[in-house]
Amino acid sequence: MNSFDESKKLLTRASKVLAGGVSSEFRKYNHPHALFYKEAKGSQITDVDGNTYLDFTLSQGPLILGHSHPRVLQAVNSYSEEGQLYAGQHIQEIELAEKIVELIPSAELIRFCLDGSEAVQTAFRVARAKTGKNKFLRFEGHYHGWLDNVAWGISTPGIEALGSREDPACFAWSKGISPDSRAEFIVLPWNDLELLKATVEKHKDELAAIITEPVMCNNGCIAPKPGFLAGIRELCSQYGIAFILDEVITGFRLGLGGAQAYYNITPDLSIFAKAMGSGYPISAIVGKNEWMDCIANSEVIHAGTMNASNPTIAASLATIRVLEEEQPYERMFRLGQQLMQGIAASAEKHGQNLKVFGLGPMFVTLFTDLDTLTDYRDTLAADKAKLGKFIARLQDQGIRVIGRGLWYISAVHTEAEIEQAIEAVDQVLREF
CB of residue 371 vs ligand PLP: minimum separation in angstroms?
Answer: 25
Judge whether 229 and 214 are in contact, CB under 8 Å: yes
- Show contacts with ligand PLP in window 161-220 (CB under 6 A): 213, 218
Window of 11-19, 157-165, 220-228, 241-249 that interacts with ligand PLP by CB under 6 A: 241-249
Asked if 412 touches ligand PLP (CB under 6 A), the answer is no
Residue nearer to ligand PLP on the CB measure, 121 or 156:
121
Comparing CA positions, the residue from 105, 253, 101, 255 lying closest to residue 93 is 101
CB of residue 117 vs ligand PLP: minimum separation in angstroms?
Answer: 3
| CA atoms of 58 and 55, how far apart (whole Å) | 6
CB of residue 37 vs ligand PLP: minimum separation in angstroms?
Answer: 19
CB of residue 114 vs ligand PLP: minimum separation in angstroms?
Answer: 8
CB of residue 219 vs ligand PLP: minimum separation in angstroms?
Answer: 11
Name the DSSP class of 236.
H
Do the bridges between strand 135-139 and strand 406-408 make them parallel or antiparallel, or are there none, so unpaired? Answer: unpaired
| CA atoms of 28 and 45, how far apart (whole Å) | 18
Window of 27-35, 187-195, 243-251, 316-324 that interacts with ligand PLP by CB under 6 A: 243-251
| CA atoms of 242 and 106, how far apart (whole Å) | 13
Dmax (CA) of the chain = 63
Exposure string of 122-144, with b = 16+ CB inside 10 Å and e = fewer, is bbbbbbbbbbebebbbbbbbbbb
Residue nearer to ligand PLP on the CB measure, 362 or 425:
362
Asked if 115 touches ligand PLP (CB under 6 A), the answer is yes
Asked if 29 touches ligand PLP (CB under 6 A), the answer is no
| CA atoms of 46 and 115, how far apart (whole Å) | 26
Residue nearer to ligand PLP on the CB measure, 249 or 411:
249
Q: Which of 4, 53, 139, 143 binds ligand PLP (CB under 6 A)?
A: 143
Would you tell me which residues interact with ligand PLP (CB under 6 A)?
115-117, 120, 143-145, 213, 218, 246, 248-249, 273
